[in-house]
Amino acid sequence: MNRKAVRSWILYDWANSAFVTTMVAAVLPIFYADVAAAGLPDYLKTSYWGYTQTIGMVLVALSAPLLGSIADVSGYKLRFLRIFAYVGVLASAAFVLVGEGDYLLASALFIAGTIGFSGGNTFYDSMLTDLVPEEKRDMVSSKGYSYGYLGGGLLLALNLLMIMQPGWFGLRSSTEGTYLAFLSVALWWFVFSLPIFRHVAPLLPKPKEAKPFPRYAADGVARLRRTFREIKRYPELLKYLIAFWLFNDGINTVITMATIYGATIGIGSTDLIAALLITQFVGFPFTLLLGRAAEKIGSKPALYLSLAVYVVIITLGFFMETALHFYILAVIVGMVQGGSQAIARSIFSRLVPKAQSAEFFGFLSVSSKLSSSFGPFVFGVVGQVFQSSRHGILALLLFFIGGIGMLTTVNLNRGHEQAEAADRSLII
């Protein structure tokens, strides 16, 4: 295992987590509610934010499998990652153009940023099979998420200072501090993504022959069709995809909707951002701890544990009324959020043929991004129908309970054997 390449891979999580903390979870939802969607009723603010999440995730889901298939055939995983990363960087920086009432522009830019972040992660995640031996993937995957929490948390802390103490930065108002926070996300993401583009390329599979991009695209389409036809060869993988589709939808909806939910039930923006900052720093050690727990008790039991905690979180979230409640839930979320995602990614990497890793991580993007569009959509619809966001949060229980139930049917050892058999027989 090339340690410099693995460290560079982990550092990309540090880089792009700035988008999650500032744009997805903390600063942008409040800015969207208070500035971009100013003048709209509170329940419409949450609904429109939920619909924005849905559109972005659907677009990523529709493109990721094809792009993953092309990347496997062409050997262009890193090239695709760079393109998507820079789309996210530019979209984050462009938020300085959003003014009061510009919720359509804000939604469009967030959709572009989501495509850059989530589309790039299709190729980033698939590199785990190229860089890390199977027995070390739980820990390396957990390190990626944990350092993502730390990096995203550090920048969020700086962003919080920009907003709360704008004078320290030569700014005139908290609004200017917010705009500077958006620019800082773009710069952070760009600078800390540079090592992965420098150090990982030599370890990734190379194409057997150079072809024009349209040929790679045609080969990718053909390969994708074959994968859809042959997915029944991997029944354990298919069952795991369905389980992931459900519980990951719940996790992502908690991430994307928690802040705007808190804002619309009366919790102040300072408390919201501070609580989410606590989530980041709690997440750093607990993601590593859950990764170690997975090594000792097994990946599946560790995942069960984290998902059970989410059921408790959703139930308590329905009754949340004060800032103290939000702080308590932020701590509990930090204890399981990164670890659950890291273990889920590691499990998936064992169930896919290595030679088709990007292609199957594209399928993972379908199951995660397309499914992730349903959670915010359900949240938004339920909130709009009942004119209350509380009912929307309670609906998320269905995703976690359904995911846990489906996960019980997955035999990980049999799934790993199916993936290895495919690698032995597959002709690329």
DSSP collapsed to 3 states, 132-153: CCHHHHHHHHHHHHHHHHHHHH
Residue 294 has a pLDDT of: 87
**Percent of the chain having pLDDT more than 90?**
30
Identify the pLDDT of residue 426: 56
pLDDT band with cut points at 50, 70 and 90 for residue 373: low
**Local structure of 391: helix, strand or coil:** helix
Predicted pLDDT at 213: 66
Give the whole-angstrom CA distance, residue 252 versus residue 306: 14
User: Residue ranges of the alpha helices (H) in 268-410?
Assistant: 269-297, 299-318, 323-351, 357-365, 371-386, 389-394, 397-407
Contacts of residue 51, defined as CB under 8 A and 6 or more positions apart, other chains included, come to: 107, 376, 377, 380
pLDDT tens profile 123-151: 888 788 888 887 788 778 888 878 887 89
CA–CA gap between residue 367 and residue 406 (Å, rounded): 14
Backbone torsions φ then ψ of 98, nearest 5 degrees:
-85, 125
**DSSP 8-state code for residue 272:** H
Please report which confidence band the pLDDT of residue 362 belongs to, taking 50, 70 and 90 as the band edges. Answer: low
d(CA 8, CA 275): 29
Query: Which are the contacts of 342, defined by CB distance < 8 A and separation ≥ 6?
Result: 138, 141, 142, 144, 145, 146, 287, 290, 291
Query: What homologous superfamily does CATH list for 3-198+218-425?
Result: MFS general substrate transporter like domains (1.20.1250.20)
Considering only CA atoms, which of 101, 95, 108, 94 is closest in space to residue 37? 101
Q: What is the pLDDT of residues 218-239, one digit of tens each?
A: 776 776 677 677 677 888 988 9
